[in-house]
């Protein structure tokens, strides 16, 4: 497929799935704008392809998001990928912990998609994609705030899809299981620190959620995002697509 002439904006583009999607979309011919809070990480990704441009932005800040879209110019595809994960039992989750995860994983998605949809008004084609998680489709222990935020992101997509259904815009969520990324490595380190188990056992605990017995490769999420932008995807709207080896 070719995305020549299309512009895609990807938040959380400095690492993990966001970085992988940036490269895949650039290779498909799109102009890619990646956003995040870490300039050095964004620059490293942008240096890998001439079609990728970095913009430092905090998705939890309304004015920063508005400035990001002004810098990006007209966009055709918006991927709200920025996210974070922290774990703790519910009774040990502070209000600050809760607010931080809701801000990044839900409010950031809302601000990003709202700004993207505003730019798409009056056009006959557009794609809004949220990178959620299997945690947006089921519950996991010790990540109540993260799970609540990801459920919220899925609900936001389903509501938005109803609003855009009679236009050429679609809204969908991608819900991967545990990914082979830096975020999962941090989760493993957190399990090791809090339980004393080895890194190997901590990794195995996460892998066992996937019936295929493996972590999800970022490229698998990128492939799904590209499919949602390809001809023939026009009727895929309001879906929360699990990329999880059959976990859900």
Active site amino acids: 146
Determine the 3-state secondary structure of 38 from DSSP.
Answer: coil
Spatial separation of the C-alpha atoms in residues 14 and 91, rounded to whole Å: 33
Count of C-beta atoms within a 10 Å radius of residue 211: 12
CA distance 223 to 203: 25
Three-class DSSP category at 179 = strand
∠ at Cα 206 (192, 87), nearest 5°? Answer: 55
d(C-alpha 159, C-alpha 46), whole Å: 33
Total number of residues shown for the chain? 248
Phi and psi at 52, nearest 5°, equal -105, 130
CA atoms within 13 A on the CB side of 50: 0
Sign of CA dihedral 36, 13, 118, 105: negative
Pairing status of strand 77-80 against strand 126-131: parallel
DSSP string for residues in 113-149: HHHHHHHHTT-S-EEEEEE--GGGTS--TTBHHHHHH
């Amino acid at each position: 497929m070719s995305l020549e002439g299309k512009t895609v904006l990807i938040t959380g583009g400095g690492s993990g799935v966001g970085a992988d999607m940036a490269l895949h979309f650039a290779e498909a011919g799109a102009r890619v704008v990646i956003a995040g809070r870490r300039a050095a990480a964004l620059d490293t990704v942008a240096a890998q392809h001439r079609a990728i441009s970095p913009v430092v932005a905090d998705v939890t800040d309304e004015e920063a998001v508005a400035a990001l879209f002004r810098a990006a110019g007209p966009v055709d595809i918006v991927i709200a990928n920025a996210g974070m994960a922290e774990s703790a039992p519910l009774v040990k989750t502070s209000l600050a912990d809760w607010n931080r995860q809701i801000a990044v994983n839900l409010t950031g998605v809302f601000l990003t998609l709202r700004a993207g949809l505003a730019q798409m008004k009056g056009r006959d084609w557009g794609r809004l994609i949220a990178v959620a998680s299997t945690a947006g489709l089921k519950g996991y222990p010790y990540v109540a705030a993260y799970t609540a935020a990801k459920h919220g992101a899925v609900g936001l997509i389903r509501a938005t899809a109803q609003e855009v259904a009679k236009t050429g815009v679609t809204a969908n969520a991608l819900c991967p299981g545990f990914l082979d990324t830096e975020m999962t490595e941090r989760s493993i380190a957190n399990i090791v620190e809090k339980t004393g188990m080895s890194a190997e056992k901590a990794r195995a605990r996460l892998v066992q959620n996937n019936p295929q017995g493996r972590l999800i490769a970022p490229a698998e999420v990128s492939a799904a995002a590209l499919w949602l932008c390809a001809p023939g995807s026009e009727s895929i709207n309001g879906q929360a697509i699990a990329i999880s080896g059959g976990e859900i």
